[in-house]
Chains A and B, each alone.
Chain A
Amino acid sequence: MAMRVLVGCKRVIDYAVKIRVKPDKTGVVTEGVKHSLNPFDEIAVEEAVRLKEKKLASEVIAVSCGPPPCQETLRTALAMGVDRGIHVEIGGKDYETLQPIHVSKILAKLAQEEKVDLIILGKQAIDDDANQTAQMTAAVLDWPQGVFASKIEKMDGTLKIQREVDGGVEYVEAKLPAVISSDLRLNEPRYATLPNIMKAKKKQIAKKSISDLGVDITPRVEVLTVEDPPVREAGAKVESVEELLTKLKDLGRI
């Protein structure tokens, strides 16, 4: 039976942009800055589209939470082969304080509404590096999870997932429905083709609001200040191992 797949598509500042902290230290500069689809999410989309091409998935739905420009992010996913998109519109202060805990509830709600069998998310976003959403979504749904996936194989009613872990590679088998997070080596995403960009124009992006979904997005975390990392200081040369140890003790490092 072909799976119905949901993929998360987060709009983040493009990886190549030089990040600058806002003068008021409340965050980083995002206005006028190039944004793109989170690279790990792009890998998730690619995997979902490949499942569809192998006829293991029947429909792929992409979800993005945030302000209107998130629709561009969804269009990128549509141009890669996703069938339709859902834009959960969240703006202003709500968006600034949106955390994985909230997103996981949104995704869980949508997964239930859309009767999804598999959720594939990027393992982490390159802006917050949280690495939480996939795990939390699985918990909310009480579904099995296979995170940091580098290979996914469909078995009979289950998924065999190859995971990259600190010690090497691990295999888990998860019963469907399940949540997976994509790691770097899962696949190499395709370029959208020009014809697919034009075809994507006709694909549907549904708009939902937080109230439609009934999810509580009150902030749990308050950002106090965002600062640049300290400027790198000059090092010092030492003559002997004894001197090295003395210096390290003086600095309170050992």
Chain B
Amino acid sequence: MGLNDEQIQMQRIATEFAQKEFLPYMAEWDEKEYFAKETMQKAAQLGFGAIYVSEKYGGTGLTRLDSSIIFEALSRGCVSTTAYMSIHNMCAWMIEQFGSEEQKQHWIPSLASMEKFASYCLTEPGSGSDAASLATTARCDGDFYILNGSKAFISGGGDTDLYVIMVRTGSPGPKGISCILVEKDTPGLSFGKKEKKVGWNSQPTRAVILEDCKVPVSNRLGEEGQGFNIAMQGLNGGRINIASCSLGAAQASLELAANHLKVRKQFNKPLAEFQHNQFKLAQMATNLVASRLLVRKAASSLQQNLPDAVSLCSMAKLFATDQCFDIVNQALQMHGGYGYLKDYAVQQYLRDIRVHQILEGTNEIMQLIVSRDILQN
């Protein structure tokens, strides 16, 4: 599909890795809620820890498109683990993009190798879609900020090492928000209970609680008031990554469904010989390809910093996550009763990608971003 030789190789490596190191454990990790740190570190050794961060700081120096291809391939092995890795990648990029030389040297190498794991903390109990209204404060006290507040639904929360936290340092609204790095074990940093989720079970999700948490001013990423911008720029890439994870799940599910249709017989013939199923498969495949093209175009646009990049990333996330959920849902239906059993992978793909329509900006917010772009330009 228009990939160059290196991208085909990368895709192959990621696919092989995922088939061998993720896929056999996908169900177990979901059932046991196991955060596979060692396996992710293995992936990081291949360069998957900081894919689009420059080599200068220990990243792999590849493009957004390369990353999309890689996340899609890895996702076929385990959506939840891949999705966490994409969040980790996003954090590493934010530090590269907005950090001081010292911060970059200090953090990026250990994030690239996944010796340390990162979490992205924006959402709060009182501010989800209305992210700019966040209420966690950071009061300046000499060489420190004192942080107070709580973040909700933090992926990796409690089990990761570095928290990239958006806090209010100034006036209400987006311009009063800053971004600050908080290390685990900092006094005043604690966590809520591990959430019980429908999917994404191979990554822990917890509230992040800040009670007079003292953090050096030198941990601030970028300038005061730049935090919201940093958060949103991180999310543009994050949206492509999440959409790519949906693509992987849809691809895997489509293949599983097609195979099932060939094998399962009713009324004396394989289900694959019923035109209804054939037509359904055709629709699913068409929508998958369309989604993939949009995601890849958005990735290219973002890489080149084109003016349409933000809109395209939102469109890609909106379209791909919705389409892929439908594809996986159809694939489950095609499995009949078996699709409902946990012995079959389709249900896990479905449960895992359902949240992609919600996080990193709900699909409703994606529509808001796109329509605003249309009406203002």
By a beta-carbon cutoff of 8 Å, the part of chain A in contact with chain B is 72, 75-76, 79, 191-195, 197-198, 201
Contacts and interface: CB of A to CB of B under 8 A. Distances in A.
A238 B206 CA distance: 65
A75 B46 contact: no
Nearest to B62: A194
Interface in B29-78: 45-48, 51, 55, 60-62, 70
Given A191-B16, A194-B13, A195-B47, 10 more contacts: A72-B9, A76-B12, A192-B9, A192-B46, A193-B45, A193-B47, A194-B46, A194-B62, A195-B60, A201-B6
A75 B5 contact: yes
28 contacts: A72-B5, A72-B8, A72-B9, A75-B5, A75-B9, A76-B9, A79-B9, A79-B13, A191-B13, A191-B16, A191-B17, A191-B46, A192-B9, A192-B13, A192-B46, A193-B13, A193-B45, A193-B46, A194-B13, A194-B70, A195-B47, A195-B55, A195-B60, A197-B6, A198-B6, A198-B61, A198-B62, A201-B6
B45 to A, nearest CB: 7
The 3 lowest CB-CB distance pairs between A and B, nearest first, are: A194-B47, A193-B46, A194-B60
Contacts of B6: 197-198, 201
A230 B148 CA distance: 74
Instruction: Indicate the size class of the contact surface on chain B.
Output: 10 to 19
A102 to B, nearest CB: 28
A194 B48 contact: yes
A46 to B, nearest CB: 14
A76 B12 CA distance: 10
A190 B8 CA distance: 18
B355 interface: no
B10 interface: yes
Interface in B210-246: none
Contacts of A79: 9, 13
Given A72-B5, A75-B5, A191-B46, A197 B16 contact: no
Interface of B: 5-6, 8-10, 12-13, 16-17, 45-48, 51, 55, 60-62, 70
Nearest to B47: A194
Nearest to B48: A194
A195 B49 CA distance: 12
A151 to B, nearest CB: 24
A194 B46 CA distance: 6
A87 B124 CA distance: 58
A193 B13 CA distance: 8
A67 to B, nearest CB: 16
A193 B9 CA distance: 10
Nearest to B16: A191
B55 A197 contact: no
A187 to B, nearest CB: 16
Nearest to A198: B6
B55 A194 contact: no
Contacts of A195: 47, 55, 60-61
B65 to A, nearest CB: 14
A75 B10 CA distance: 11
B302 to A, nearest CB: 19
Nearest to A195: B47
B270 to A, nearest CB: 16
B10 A194 contact: yes
Nearest to A78: B9
Contacts of A198: 6, 61-62
Nearest to A72: B5
A201 B10 CA distance: 12
A188 to B, nearest CB: 11
B146 to A, nearest CB: 41
A31 B10 CA distance: 22
A195 to B, nearest CB: 5
Contacts of B62: 194, 198
A192 B17 CA distance: 10
B322 to A, nearest CB: 30
A55 B47 CA distance: 25
